[in-house]
Amino acid sequence: MFDLILQGAPLLFTMQTMLLIAAGIVGGLVIGVLPGLGPLMGIVLLLPVAFHLPPIPAMGMLIAVYIGGSAGGSISAILLRIPGTPLAAATLFDGYPMAQKGRSQDAIGLSITASALGGLIGGVMLVFFSPMLAAFALRFGPPEYAAMALLGLTTIIVVSEGSAIKGLLTGGLGLLIATIGTDEFTNAYRYTFGNFNLTSGPNIVAVVVGLFAISEFLFQIGGGGFLDTPRLQKLVISFRALRLIASHKVNLVRSALIGTGLGAIPGAGGDVSAFVSYAVARKFSKPEDGYGEGAEGGVVATEAANNGCCGGALIPSLSLGIPGDASTAVLLAALFLLGFFPGPELFRSNADVAGGIFLAYLTGNVILLILGIVLVPFFGTVLKLKKAWLLPIVLLLSTMGTYALQNSVFDLYVMLVFGGLGFLLRRAGYPLAPIIIGIILGPVLENNFRRSLLLSRDGPMIFVERPISATILTVVAIMLCYIVYTLVRSGRQDTAS
Amino acid sequence: MKPSLRMLALAVGAAIATGPALAEFPERNIEAIYPWAPGATMAASQVIADAMGEELGVNVSIVSTPGAGGVKAFQTAMANEADGYTLIDGYVAPLVLQPMQGNADWSYEDFTPLWSATSNAFAIAVRKGDERFPDLDALMGYAQENPGDLRYSPGTSGSLPHMVAAKVMQTEDALAQLVPYPEIDNAVRDLRSGILDFIVINPGVYRVNKDDVDILAVLSTLDRSSETYDGAPLIGSLGIDMGMTDLSPMGWDWWLVSNDTPDDVVTTLQDAMGAALAREDVQQKLLDMGYVPTLYGPERYDEIVGPVEEQLSGAVDAIAWEVERMQGL
């Protein structure tokens, strides 16, 4: 574990990397503050930039956006009662009442401090558990990877927002998109329609930018209010929160650990962990703490959890190559593009890169603590940014970034097509995250499934003859039974009503 | 029009008219389109690109454009203007193999060579200390007696390492089940854990994993290829004639530009690449990575690349033989 850190240190402690992490934190906070955008959007917009950077500065910047974006959503939740991101929805319960009582400065300070410290606790767990999980996964072969990919897909569907059926459908769409390109086993072209641009499938960055950034752009246009500016309380720089949080130590650590644990389960995500840790903190509170009426503990619990969750989500992502949520799925895509394959081999063959990523995550949280507090007045200004300015910037960044990937106009078409598709799916209430998870996990599932059958001397029995593969598949079977059970039950309830 | 405006217009017109004539190649950064995903081989190309950039005074960047066995990279490069700002890192697979297999409609003669870059020999590797296979004889003997029982991976199916391995096995009448692994690192992982019985690797992969593998044979006829595998035996020294010599059984690349590129631009690029490859530090870096600088100048392009196609056709047949035999089991 410490070897990884030592090997990664020289890659991290360069001026370029540190500046990019700081820029990523600020960028993440800004994009988290802006309602409707979030860490995923930040990562998506910077993905094309990262593609042209060395691996650790690139991953450091993207991870910093992930951290900053996860923390930034609380600021608009506290000041405007509009969570900047779904992750900050639970922060409303006590953050906004604190602001109503004239304590917006304290609420923001506590949310940033709890986010940073929660993220650091999640980071320690990441550094501790990832190498252990990766070492265990060295025993994995193609059957185990196929089973893990199936588990990842099933979990995402179980916990996807909206109905499981809609999650299944969009997950299936992701799997279909993943089949476009060249079959890696026979070198045959699949669904390329004679277009050489599709021979390696649609560019994943163009797909992600389209699905998330362009669809959000279209949604925001539909929402109107291009010239609206909110009225805010005056904000100043204050380090008082560092003293205040000392009285919430147990709540902080407990919430961060809940966040990390839930984050490590593919699909659970930061919003789930924030609500769960809020419920736990409230359960352990005294009536005089006044949860729901502006309790400091409520803000600490939700923010420590949703940033601890980032560290947790990176554990299966880095050690197994199975993303914890849509943001980590895009981070994995970035790692692929930079030439590294997440999983046990990353820890074995590129220990310096794995260590550099760990350190970037930890450093990002330290920088968040400092910059998050120092820049509070600036975030107030950001919240006043009119949509009329913001939306063209999003469109410009999306278009320039996507084109710059390969100087390809075709990638822009891909971006626009997936932008329209994402918009239509969101309007119909279908979750988009399973599409990305499907695109990332589809090739892992297909290739390892086919490879397993080629390796097997006993046909499909290879999946049940190997104990780890059999165990994972049993878990998948239980989850599928659960999905069917809930669908049947909700169908009966609908009929009865 | 006022006189001052007229003069300004004339000045601008003159600048535009004379601009291209005065401009000297290169004025901006150059891209070398690389046909594979990033990895050790791309790092070797980057070494050459960096040195070439220093000679030219602009940045030469390697742009990874994987897909369709390298065909996508060639098509992407050819879609750009033939102005010397787009180079092709022309590996043997998209340059010679894909046209042979009907997947591309060009021949090597459709490109103008700068210089040849590197070559790397492939090798058959087994798990370190695998007592079943102390040498190639034992491996081939087992595959002869138990056709289709062994599992092996040369990386991607239909690739050059696959062809060369299939040719060796055909020569020995030995048969094993192919298991494609586009990411060869995963094949090494599964060799280590005993899922695969042998793999075909290049020196870059060997360097990273030398503690986990034993090299049974280097699939080359060139003595210096053995050095990149720490002195492992050449296939010829084991009494096997695989019917492929010199560059034919090896991975190699020539840097190319379109035939429509202006002559003066081609000369500038050739001089810069020649000077870059002549540098001892560049050669040493490449050797350290397991890639042998071939140092063939553009005048030897036809002589070197021409015969490769003929020798490779035998290897293509070997894959067909492998498929047919496996289907017959």
| Minimal CA separation from B72 to chain A, in Å | 6
Q: The tokens of A212 are what?
A: 């998330």
Is residue B276 one of the residues assigned to a domain? Answer: yes
Same domain assignment for residues B227 and B257: no
Position B18 scores a pLDDT of: 47
If you compute the radius of gyration of chain B from its CA atoms, what whole number of angstroms results? 23
pLDDT tens-place string over residues A220-279: 888 888 887 777 777 777 788 888 899 899 999 999 999 998 888 766 566 678 888 888
Instruction: Give the CATH number for residue B168.
Output: 3.40.190.10
pLDDT band at B2 (very low <50, low <70, confident <90, very high): very low
Contacts of B103 in chain A (CB under 8 A): 187
Q: What is the mean pLDDT of residues A332-347?
A: 81
B208 contacts A349? CB cut-off 8 A: yes
- Tokens 């899922």 locate to B195
What share of chain B has pLDDT > 90, as a percent?
53
Contacts of A410 in chain B (CB under 8 A): none
Nearest CB to A345; choose among B157, B180, B189: B189
Decide if A193 touches B, using CB distance below 8 A: no
Closest Cα in chain B to A188: B68
A339 contacts B37? CB cut-off 8 A: yes
Instruction: Give the CATH number for residue B276.
Output: 3.40.190.150
B189 contacts A344? CB cut-off 8 A: yes
Nearest CB to A200; choose among B67, B181, B196: B67
Same domain assignment for residues B254 and B114: yes
Is residue B18 one of the residues assigned to a domain? Answer: no
Mutate to test the interface with B, among A182, A338, A353, A448 (most CBs of B within 10 A): A182
Strand spans (E) along B26-73: 30-34, 60-64
Position B1 scores a pLDDT of: 43
DSSP A82: -
Q: B26 preceded by cis ω (within 30°)?
A: yes
Neighbouring C-beta atoms of residue A370, cutoff 10 Å? 14
| Minimal CA separation from A91 to chain B, in Å | 42
Position A471 scores a pLDDT of: 94
Position B22 scores a pLDDT of: 47
Nearest CB to B66; choose among A186, A200, A408: A200
pLDDT tens-place string over residues A154-172: 876 665 655 778 888 998 9
- pLDDT of B19 higher than 70: no
**For A131-135, A182-186, A231-235, which range has the lowest pLDDT when averaged over its residues?**
A231-235
Bridge pairing between strands B151-153 and B177-178: parallel
Position A93 scores a pLDDT of: 84
Same domain assignment for residues B198 and B323: yes
pLDDT band at B103 (very low <50, low <70, confident <90, very high): confident
Most confident of A45-59, B20-34, B139-153: B139-153
Residues 405-424 of A with CB under 8 A from B: 406, 408
Decide if B63 touches A, using CB distance below 8 A: yes
- pLDDT of B39 higher than 80: no
**For A199-208, A423-432, B34-43, B238-247, which range has the lowest pLDDT when averaged over its residues?**
B34-43
Q: How would you classify residue B24: left for phi > 0, otherwise alpha for psi between -120 and 50, otherwise beta?
A: beta
- On the CB side of B196, CA atoms within 13 Å amount to 30
pLDDT band at B300 (very low <50, low <70, confident <90, very high): very high
Please, are residues A357 and A126 in contact by the beta-carbon 8 Å criterion? no
- pLDDT of B7 higher than 60: no
B158 contacts A187? CB cut-off 8 A: yes
Mutate to test the interface with A, among B86, B183, B191, B213 (most CBs of A within 10 A): B183
| Minimal CA separation from B2 to chain A, in Å | 40
* Amino acid at site B269: L
CA B28 distance to own-chain centroid = 27
Contacts of A186 in chain B (CB under 8 A): 157
pLDDT tens-place string over residues A4-20: 888 888 888 899 999 99
A182 contacts B179? CB cut-off 8 A: no
pLDDT band at A406 (very low <50, low <70, confident <90, very high): confident
pLDDT band at B323 (very low <50, low <70, confident <90, very high): very high
* Amino acid at site B102: G
Same domain assignment for residues B229 and B279: no
Is residue B1 one of the residues assigned to a domain? Answer: no
pLDDT band at B20 (very low <50, low <70, confident <90, very high): very low
Same domain assignment for residues B34 and B100: yes
- pLDDT of B13 higher than 60: no
Is residue B79 one of the residues assigned to a domain? Answer: yes
**For A190-199, A395-404, A433-442, B4-13, which range has the lowest pLDDT when averaged over its residues?**
B4-13
> Domain range spanning residue B199?
122-247+314-327
**For chain A, how many helices (H) and strands (E)?**
23, 2
pLDDT tens-place string over residues A75-125: 888 887 777 666 777 787 888 889 888 888 889 999 999 999 999 999 999
A454 contacts B185? CB cut-off 8 A: no
A139 contacts B69? CB cut-off 8 A: no
A454 contacts B179? CB cut-off 8 A: yes
Decide if A345 touches B, using CB distance below 8 A: yes
Q: The tokens of A35 are what?
A: 């309602």
pLDDT tens-place string over residues B157-215: 888 899 999 999 999 999 999 999 987 888 998 999 899 999 999 888 888 788 899 99
Decide if B38 touches A, using CB distance below 8 A: yes
Q: The tokens of B177 are what?
A: 């089940």
| Minimal CA separation from A15 to chain B, in Å | 22
Position B116 scores a pLDDT of: 92
| Minimal CA separation from A181 to chain B, in Å | 8
Position B67 scores a pLDDT of: 78
Mutate to test the interface with B, among A180, A348, A414, A468 (most CBs of B within 10 A): A348
pLDDT band at B113 (very low <50, low <70, confident <90, very high): very high
Same domain assignment for residues B216 and B262: no
Is residue B63 one of the residues assigned to a domain? Answer: yes
Is residue B5 one of the residues assigned to a domain? Answer: no
Please, are residues A51 and A405 in contact by the beta-carbon 8 Å criterion? yes
Position B321 scores a pLDDT of: 94
A196 contacts B75? CB cut-off 8 A: yes
Alpha helices by DSSP H, listed for B57-180, are 71-79, 92, 98-100, 136-145, 160-172
Q: What is the mean pLDDT of residues B61-74?
A: 85
pLDDT band at B55 (very low <50, low <70, confident <90, very high): very high
What share of chain B has pLDDT > 70, as a percent?
92
- As a whole number, the mean pLDDT across chain B is 87
A187 contacts B156? CB cut-off 8 A: yes
pLDDT tens-place string over residues A189-231: 899 998 888 988 998 888 988 988 898 889 888 888 888 777 7
B178 contacts A454? CB cut-off 8 A: yes
B38 contacts A406? CB cut-off 8 A: no
Same domain assignment for residues B91 and B115: yes
- As a whole number, the mean pLDDT across chain A is 86
Measured CA angle at A9 (ends A5, A13), to 5 deg: 150
Same domain assignment for residues B170 and B34: no
Q: The tokens of A428 are what?
A: 């119909």
Same domain assignment for residues B178 and B60: no
Is residue B92 one of the residues assigned to a domain? Answer: yes
pLDDT tens-place string over residues B220-240: 988 888 888 999 999 999 989
Is residue B186 one of the residues assigned to a domain? Answer: yes
| Minimal CA separation from B301 to chain A, in Å | 28
Rounded CA-CA distance A254/A249 in Å is 9
- pLDDT of B156 higher than 80: yes
Q: What is the mean pLDDT of residues A61-82?
A: 87
pLDDT tens-place string over residues A266-283: 665 666 788 888 889 988
Same domain assignment for residues B108 and B173: no
Decide if A196 touches B, using CB distance below 8 A: yes
Closest Cα in chain B to A201: B67
Domain limits, chain A: 2-496
Same domain assignment for residues B243 and B129: yes
Backbone angles phi, psi at A199, to 5 degrees: -70, -20
Q: What's the ipTM?
A: 0.78
pLDDT tens-place string over residues A481-494: 887 887 788 777 77
Decide if B46 touches A, using CB distance below 8 A: no
A454 contacts B67? CB cut-off 8 A: no
- pLDDT of A177 higher than 90: yes
What share of chain A has pLDDT > 90, as a percent?
31
Helix axes A164-178 and A433-455, enclosed angle (nearest 10): 60
Decide if A141 touches B, using CB distance below 8 A: yes
Decide if A185 touches B, using CB distance below 8 A: yes
Count of A-B CB contacts under 8 Å: 78
Closest Cα in chain B to A462: B195
Nearest CB to A199; choose among B42, B67, B208: B67
| Minimal CA separation from B179 to chain A, in Å | 6
Q: What is the mean pLDDT of residues A291-313?
A: 89
Same domain assignment for residues B203 and B126: yes
Position A482 scores a pLDDT of: 82
